[in-house]
Structure 1
Amino acid sequence: MKLLTPGPVQIPSEVIKAFGRQPLFHKLQEFKDVFRDVLEKLSKVVPGTPIILPGTGTLAVDTMVYNYVNPGEKVIALTYGEFGDRLIESLESRGAKVFKLSIGIGKVPPPDMVEDLGKRLGDVVAIALVHNETGAGCVNRYLDKLRNIASSLGALLLIDSVSGIPAEPISCDVDVVATASHKAFLAPPGGAILFINTEPRTKYPVPRSMNLSKFLERIKDYETPYTPPINVVYGLSTSLDYILGMGLENYYEIHRVRAEYLYSNLRLTPVAESSCRSYTVTAFYTSSAKEIVDMLRGCGYVIASGVGSIKDISIRIGVMGDVSIEDLKVVTELVNEYVGK
């Protein structure tokens, strides 16, 4: 069975071997050495101080929100799919005054719309967005411009890149990036990862497990305030060697080639507009979503149905992990044959 899912992904065998070992006691120097090595590798992927919490991408996003947004503060939130909506839900649960900016599923609002809204509102504390929208196979490639807009407004730029980095790169300095171990980082689930360039600023209580100030206090000694996801750290050590050894540009290019193969050859309509199609998770409209998912499962390939409002009318095919062009050719032929009946 081969996973072509948005995550968890098909993990390379050497990474499975790395995390399938007896966990060390995390207070031992031997583990601190591994932890330091992983943090140093992560810092080569995205600018900022990396933090690893036990949890998944959802926890990483909630942690970002609760450490950087106070109740009553104005936040502009972009959404172009289900996970943008979930980011808004997290902001609203924190009590933020959220100003939603959307032009439809799979369509990224242009930067000038964000800038105009920010100027009209005034006193905007943050611009929050999903870098790579897992639900719609849609990526926001305006991050450099949005970074400048946020700076001009005196606002933070908060990014959910759970299914983006390091396969969909972030080249500019961002205040906070939230991601996870089990997608393009090629490791098992269980690591909520954040990259921090701005000190936490909340004036309100944060749950102990999500309090970034406590993690930042300990990170200089390569320690954590609570038990870290030890075996995920082992997996990340090996997967990051693979990614960095290949080079980030080459890693991005491999995903681009895989995704473009599907966009060019599947006889289905992509959910995302051509200018913002993701190179990690592809999404396509179809009236036979469940049937295609079931058919491929019977042939040894696992893909995902849609989520949110397009759950029953779309499929998602991930190209992260131990996936080859040959796998994608087989899947493409099977899907095209099915829809051509």
Structure 2
Amino acid sequence: MVYDEENILLMTPGPVPFHPRVYQAMSRVVFHHRTPEYRKTFGECVSMMKEVMQTKNDVFIFTGSGTAAMDAAIANCISPGDKVLNLIDGKFSERWAEITETFGAKPIRLDVEWGKAVKPEMVSDALEKEPDIKFVTMCHNETSTAVLNPVQEIAEITSEQGKILLVDGITSVGGDYVYPDKWGIDILVAGSQKCLGCPPGLGMIMVGPRAWDVINKREKIPSYYVNLPAYKKSFEKSSEPPYTSAISLIYGLHEALTMILEEGYENRVRRHRLMAEAVRRGMEALGLQLLAEKGCESNTITALKYPEGIDDGAFRKGMQKHGTLVAGGQAHLRGKIFRVAHMNIIAEREILLVLALTGLVLRELGFECESEAGVSAAQEVFLKNLK
């Protein structure tokens, strides 16, 4: 059997598989974007996005990836020379520091070993040493290491000290608990191709009142396209973005968000957490070790260390030969780990399949394991959930 893009299973952290209803929605005839009909669709997307983000704050949707939303956050909030504390525990939290530097601010790195979470006391200590820090950036769910950071506790610290907190929620929004208003997150960004279950190409950004206070005091925003005051003015005037939308993607997002709300916020988060637990127990039963430290594991992606003697390229090619794509490691973790995503519509069927194939491919490559042990361990997790 030969697998191709038509029938291969994506267990990668974006793009992820999405429902046929989303494909169907995107097949609609493209309508003009300056019409009442399109404004209604776009406005409903913003309203549903607020529900998914659990916020009453402003939310904007624009054409671009999650990185574009990160870029917008820095461009609109941070001025040259501002001190920014960048909490770095992986490749994507490091991206905040790179963007910070691009816009002329002064990044102050707080580096944590990849695979470990940023501890709240580390943040307190860093802010005490540099009291003139104005902003703090972090990833809620660090995709490169499959670590879930304690954003609630960190947000309490930044709020108490009057710092603006910018959070990458690209692989947590729509898949795990995120309460920006309750926790005190000032900027929260997301992307369409992860837990939201839509193709790549849309970035989302939530802007809280403390962030607006900073933005509104700036004389000039150094961006024409992702100028948040321009987006706010346009949406308040006519429920539309100031520039042309990716119309077909908006149709897809509308359907994807509708499905998320049909499932229900609590149900969706519980399902993602159940799938994560099944993957972790199943992979451990196969003899694999998690990269993430215990107690800080992501609920939307799992990173596994390769056993000694297992080659990254051979393993992932073996998985692909059997019809499943998993992701490799990044930066200095390249060749040392592989990553399995369990986002959006991934459920029991896909989890049991990827565990069975992982056991099969490991044995094909000479690793001694009980290939059925992974499936059995995951089944126990699922059966326990029925009780």
**Range of TM-score over shorter length:** over 0.9
113, 120, 131: which one pairs with 2:140?
131
35, 40, 46: which one pairs with 1:33?
40
- The aligned runs of 1:306-317 (5 Å cut-off) are 306-317=329-340
226, 230, 242: which one pairs with 1:225?
242
Mapped to 2, the partners of 1:42 and 1:339 lie a distance apart of 41
Pairwise CA distance, 1:212: 0.9
Q: Secondary structure at the match of 1:194?
A: strand
Pairwise CA distance, 1:194: 0.5
Go from structure 1 to structure 2 and tell me whether the alpha carbon gap of 1:91 and 1:291 turns closer, same or farther (over 3 Å shift): same
Mapped to 2, the partners of 1:77 and 1:245 lie a distance apart of 37
The percentage of aligned residue pairs carrying the same residue is 28
For the pair shown, the structure with the greater C-alpha radius of gyration is 2
Mapped to 1, the partners of 2:352 and 2:335 lie a distance apart of 24
- The aligned runs of 1:104-143 (5 Å cut-off) are 104-140=113-149, 142-143=150-151
Mapped to 1, the partners of 2:348 and 2:46 lie a distance apart of 32
Mapped to 1, the partners of 2:288 and 2:165 lie a distance apart of 35
1:155 alignment counterpart: 163
Matched, 1:13 2:20: yes
Mapped to 1, the partners of 2:153 and 2:351 lie a distance apart of 34
Pairwise CA distance, 1:299: 0.9
State the Cα deviation string for residues 301-328 of structure 1 (Å, max 9, x = none). Answer: 1111111210211111111133232222
2:107 alignment counterpart: 98
Mapped to 2, the partners of 1:80 and 1:334 lie a distance apart of 30
Contact 2:180 2:188 in 1 (8 A): no
228, 242, 246: which one pairs with 1:212?
228
State the Cα deviation string for residues 90-109 of structure 1 (Å, max 9, x = none). Answer: 11111221111122002112
Contact 1:106 1:138 in 2 (8 A): yes
2:87 alignment counterpart: 78
Mapped to 1, the partners of 2:277 and 2:197 lie a distance apart of 20
Q: Which amino acid aligns with 2:344?
A: G
Q: Secondary structure at the match of 1:273?
A: coil
Farther off after superposition, 53-62 or 147-156:
147-156
Pairwise CA distance, 1:62: 0.9
Pairwise CA distance, 1:203: 4.4
177, 187, 202: which one pairs with 1:169?
177
270, 276, 291: which one pairs with 2:296?
276
333, 343, 352: which one pairs with 1:329?
352
Mapped to 1, the partners of 2:125 and 2:165 lie a distance apart of 16
Contact 1:138 1:277 in 2 (8 A): yes
Mapped to 1, the partners of 2:256 and 2:81 lie a distance apart of 41
RMSD value over aligned CA atoms? 1.4
Contact 1:56 1:190 in 2 (8 A): yes
State the Cα deviation string for residues 128-183 of structure 1 (Å, max 9, x = none). Answer: 0011111111111x222222211222110100111110102211321111111111
Go from structure 1 to structure 2 and tell me whether the alpha carbon gap of 1:36 and 1:205 turns closer, same or farther (over 3 Å shift): closer
Q: Which amino acid aligns with 1:55?
A: G
Mapped to 2, the partners of 1:242 and 1:75 lie a distance apart of 37
Mapped to 2, the partners of 1:20 and 1:288 lie a distance apart of 41
Contact 2:180 2:186 in 1 (8 A): no
Pairwise CA distance, 1:336: 2.2
Contact 1:124 1:154 in 2 (8 A): no
Q: Secondary structure at the match of 2:134?
A: strand
Mapped to 2, the partners of 1:185 and 1:212 lie a distance apart of 22
Gaps of at least 5 residues in structure 1 are: none
Contact 1:54 1:190 in 2 (8 A): yes
Contact 2:175 2:344 in 1 (8 A): no
Pairwise CA distance, 1:242: 1.0
Contact 2:272 2:342 in 1 (8 A): yes
Mapped to 1, the partners of 2:180 and 2:223 lie a distance apart of 30
Q: Which amino acid aligns with 2:282?
A: N
Q: Secondary structure at the match of 1:208?
A: coil
Pairwise CA distance, 1:339: 2.7
2:374 alignment counterpart: none
Gaps of at least 5 residues in structure 2 are: 1-7, 367-387
TM-score (normalised: structure 2):
0.85
Pairwise CA distance, 1:204: 4.7
Farther off after superposition, 204-213 or 302-311:
204-213
Q: Secondary structure at the match of 1:275?
A: coil
1:189 alignment counterpart: 200
Q: Secondary structure at the match of 1:148?
A: helix
218, 221, 237: which one pairs with 2:254?
237
Mapped to 1, the partners of 2:141 and 2:152 lie a distance apart of 15
Matched, 1:146 2:154: yes
The count of residues paired between Structure 1 and Structure 2 equals 340
Mapped to 1, the partners of 2:122 and 2:145 lie a distance apart of 21
Mapped to 2, the partners of 1:322 and 1:80 lie a distance apart of 28
Contact 1:135 1:308 in 2 (8 A): no
